[in-house]
Homo-oligomer: A and B are copies of this chain.
Amino acid sequence: MVTATLAELTEKGYDQLTVDAICHRAGVHKATVYRRWGGVDGLIADALALSADQPWPIPDTGNVDEDIQLLALEVYTTFTDPDLRTTPTALIGAALRSTLGAAALSAFFTARHQQAAEIVTRAVKRGQLPASVDPVELVRAATAPLYHRLFITGEPLDEPAAHRAAAAALLAARASLFDAAAP
């Protein structure tokens, strides 16, 4: 169902997305889809939940500056490469269009931030970052400016913007601006 949903979404966009077309593509009965997913927004939320669970290669070069740069670059590439960008761009755009989708998107980012925080905890163990830094805050800061351009301001995203976001986040972390709150 997820594959059919993403294919329909990518081809037709959210405004033209129908349960009918998704069912036809997947060879599944409409009643089943309405019962299990409620409608297109439930299918989109499910596609995001599955994406959140999927393992993805977290940069691990041994150098945190390089790892955080690669993390930002991965976001840049995912949403700008003509061969890669269509489906993830459509999926996040669609998620922003419903309450159900927005909740799934929030859970998706929580999962991604937690996974990528590994970059920071490894760097702390290697002594490349102060132990006081909040790993999720550093990951969030390195990628937030990219998503902000892509999905809020609609400004163009180029590679220097990804480098700036990563470098600014590392600088702030080393200046103790992203320290975890004292327990």
Set of chain B residues within 8 Å of A140, measured between Cβ atoms = 145, 148, 153, 155
Given A140-B145, A167-B172: A154 and B96 within 8 A (CB)?
Answer: no
Task: Report the copy number of this chain in the oligomer.
Answer: 2
Query: Which residues of the other chain, B, contact A110 by a CB distance below 8 angstroms?
Result: 153, 155
> Which residues of chain A from 83 to 124 have any CB-CB distance to chain B below 8 Å in the complex?
92, 96-97, 102-103, 105-106, 109-110, 113
Cross-chain contact A155 with B96 (CB below 8 angstroms): no
Beyond A97-B97, A141-B168, A164-B172, is A105–B154 a contact (Cβ under 8 Å)?
A: yes
Say if the beta carbon of A70 comes within 8 Å of chain B.
no
Cross-chain contact of A145 among B96, B105, B141, B153 (Cβ < 8 A): B141
Rounded to whole Å, the gap between the CB of A178 and the closest CB of chain B is 7
By DSSP majority rule, is chain A's interface helix, strand, loop, or mixed? helix
Which residues from B are CB-within-8-Å of A177? Answer: 164, 167-168, 171
Shortest CB-to-CB span from A137 to chain B, Å, is 7
Contacts of A147 in B (CB 8 A): 148, 152
A170 to chain B, nearest CB (A): 10
CB distance from A148 to the nearest CB of B (A): 4
Binding site for B on A (CB under 8 A): 92, 96-97, 102-103, 105-106, 109-110, 113, 137, 140-141, 144-145, 147-149, 151-155, 160, 164, 167-169, 171-172, 175, 177-178, 181
List 9 interface pairs A-B (beta carbons < 8 Å), by A numbering: A96-B96, A106-B154, A109-B152, A140-B153, A144-B145, A144-B149, A145-B145, A151-B151, A167-B177
Question: Which 5 A-B pairs give the minimum distances between C-beta atoms?
Answer: A106-B154, A168-B172, A144-B148, A109-B153, A96-B96
